Amino acid sequence: TQPVPTDAAAVKAADRAHVFHSWSAQGLIDPPAVAGAEGSYFWDYDGNRYLDFSSQLVNTNIGHQHPKVVAAIQEQAARLCTIAPGFAVDVRSEAARLIAGRTPGDLDKIFFTNGGAEAVENAVRMARLHTGRPKVLSAYRSYHGATAAAINLTGDPRRWPSDTASAGVVRFWGPFRYRSPFHAESEEQECERALRHLEDTIAFEGPGTIAAIILETVPGTAGIMVPPPGYLPGVRALCDRYGIVLILDEVMAGFGRTGRWFAADHFGVVPDLLTFAKGVNSGYVPLGGVAISAEIAATFEERPYPGGLTYSGHPLACASAVATINAMDGEGIVENAARIGEDVLGPGLRELAERHPSVGDVRGLGVFWAVELVRDRRTREPLVPYAATGEANAPMAAVTAAIKAAGLWPFVNMNRVHVVPPCTITDEETKQGLAALDEALTVADRYAA
Ligand code: PLP
């Protein structure tokens, strides 16, 4: 056996020797060495403890190392580590029952994947086969994953160079009042114009060519933009009118993140397909999936579904999902996320916005918030330009460093700090994080008018 490294230098050297990292120029990165994690914290080998306001990649909704979930994985490993997807297994059926019991409406069949991108791939395949139509509409300012179809559906040009086969993808603008593509003056106007733009897009693409519209219920990575109340019901109505499948991507927003089991619950909307991953088991073992409506499931009642994965419904992943969902229920974790958002995090962030000239906007729900940093509140000029790198990104790099120096681990994208702690975060931890953010924002203020 290999010796287990016990100091940061050895861990980093071992990483640099053979690990190839995501989204990075391999020679320009210095991945921090993590020694352990528990609850809302993780720590390194040099005695630094970080309050995890990123939930890693917005997935550890129940925090790190939840004892009941760790035990469930250990127990399942002792009983049955793996089995092919073609068998009936108690733990997989129970995970599917618990998920189907929480997804909205009649989304009662669950196809399991290993993560979010595969869930999107399969949802799109189901929609195309169900409708017999080729195109899928997706929003600019979105993220749907890094596999072939998912990355092309992603509305972020930084992602496209990794795959150029965007056949059948048509992008449109969703509503976003702070940087409105529709020049709207009210929330209602933004909603109405966004829906009109979507209906025009459908008309000019040809409704009979469109299999699906895919939307993040609340777009996450692209900026946590809670849609106006009427928007998703309006999209649902357009889908019904034109026979288009509505796919809601809840990979990031689902499983408690917004203070409800699913973000769709805030808007009273039932999609035809719902993709999930991340929070379903807090990422303790890779798991994602698609929740499927009765009508789409019926399409594959007599006709085989042409898709599958060796690890679909993996027993260790399913055991961790069962334990996670039961813990979330038993410990009121979704309710905690809602309460923290309403009583502590939302008011606290709004208060920071009042005092810091660099804060242009704060927005969110539950434990799903974005702080948008600007040079000038009046013009809304972002603190750094879109997709800035190197020198151009220096202000955000300085703010990020200040946040980390204050013992807080943020999720940073473009000119935004996303405040996305675990759903289990306490009042005290939230206040501690807000205080750290308060201190670090003075760095951003130096660049702001
Ligand atoms: N969809 C959304 C909304 C996401 O936020 C993500 C990941 O951040 C994905 C899909 C892709 O999930 P994964 O990275 O598990 O493939």
Domains of the chain: 8-65+332-445 (3.90.1150.10), 68-330 (3.40.640.10)
Residue 148: per-residue pLDDT? 86
pLDDT at 74: 98
- Sequence-ordered list of residues with C-beta below 8 angstroms from that of 249, at least 6 positions apart, any chain: 116, 120, 123, 142, 144, 214, 215, 216, 217, 274, 275
Q: Ligand 1: which atom is nearest the Cα of residue 142?
A: 3
User: What is the tens place of the pLDDT at every residue in 320-358?
Assistant: 999 999 999 999 999 999 999 999 999 999 999 999 999
* Cα gap 26→371, rounded to integer Å: 29
Identify the pLDDT of residue 343: 98
Q: Per-10-residue mean pLDDT for the chain, 449 residues long?
A: 76 96 94 97 96 98 98 98 98 98 98 98 98 97 93 83 73 96 94 98 97 98 98 98 98 98 98 98 98 98 97 98 98 98 98 98 98 97 93 96 97 97 98 98 95
Q: Which amino acid, one-letter code, is at 167? A: A
Ligand 1 pocket, 119 CB below 6 A?
no
Residue nearest to atom 5 of ligand 1 (CA): 252
Residue 151 CA to ligand 1 center (angstroms) comes to: 10
361 C-beta closer than 6 A to ligand 1: no
Atom of ligand 1 at shortest range from CA of 115: 15
Mutating to test ligand 1, I would choose from 141, 278, 280 the residue with most ligand atoms within 8 A of its C-beta, which is 278
Pocket flag, ligand 1, residue 316 (CB < 6 Å): no
Helical (H) or strand (E) element with 171: strand 169-172
Two structure tokens written together for 118: 């595969």
Of all protein residues, the one whose alpha carbon is nearest to atom 13 of ligand 1 is: 116
Phi-psi region at 373: left, alpha or beta (left = phi > 0; alpha = psi -120 to 50): beta
Cα of 417 from ligand 1 centre, angstroms: 18
Pocket of ligand 1 contains residue 283 by CB under 6 Å:
no
The torsion of the CA quartet 182, 183, 185, 191, rounded to 10 degrees, works out to 10
> Is beta strand 359-365 parallel, antiparallel or unpaired with respect to 135-139?
unpaired
Distance CA 336, CA 100 (A): 22
SS3 45: coil
Q: Is 220 in the pocket of ligand 1 (CB under 6 A)?
A: yes
Please indicate whether residue 216, judged by its CB atom, sits closer than 6 Å to ligand 1.
Answer: yes
Q: Tokens representing 409?
A: 């681990």
**How is residue 362 written in tokens?**
């704060």
Name the residue of 55, 251, 290 whose CB sits within 8 Å of the most ligand 1 atoms, as the mutation to test its pocket. Answer: 251
- Strand positions, DSSP E, 245-325: 245-249, 273-276, 288-292
- Residue 192: count other Cβ atoms within 10 Å of its Cβ: 18
Give the residue among 119, 224, 130, 246 at the shortest CA–CA distance from 179. Answer: 224
ipTM exceeding cut-off 0.85 for this assembly: yes
- Residue 249's DSSP bridge partners are 216, 275
Tell me, what's the pLDDT at 5? 67
What pLDDT, on the 0 to 100 scale, is given for residue 106? 96
For strands 210-216 and 135-139, give the pairing.
parallel
Q: Render the burial of 64-99: b for 16+ CB within 10 Å, e for the rest.
A: bbbeebeebbeebeeeeeeeeeeeebebbebbbebb
C-beta of 120 in contact with ligand 1 (< 6 A) = yes
Cα 185 to averaged position of ligand 1 atoms, centre (Å): 32
**What pairing do the DSSP bridges indicate for beta strands 135-139 and 49-52?**
unpaired
Token pair, residue 31, equals: 């991945």
pLDDT value at residue 4: 66
**Which ligand 1 atom is the nearest neighbour of the CA of 278?**
15
Owner of token pair 């939930």: 55
Q: What is the distance in A from the centroid of ligand 1 to the CA of 156?
A: 13
Alpha-helical (H) ranges within 63-115 are 67-79, 90-100
Q: What are the C-alpha distances in Å from 334 to residues 325, 339, 342, 367?
A: 10, 9, 13, 10
Of the candidates 222, 329, 286, 279, the residue with the CA atom closest to the CA atom of residue 62 = 279
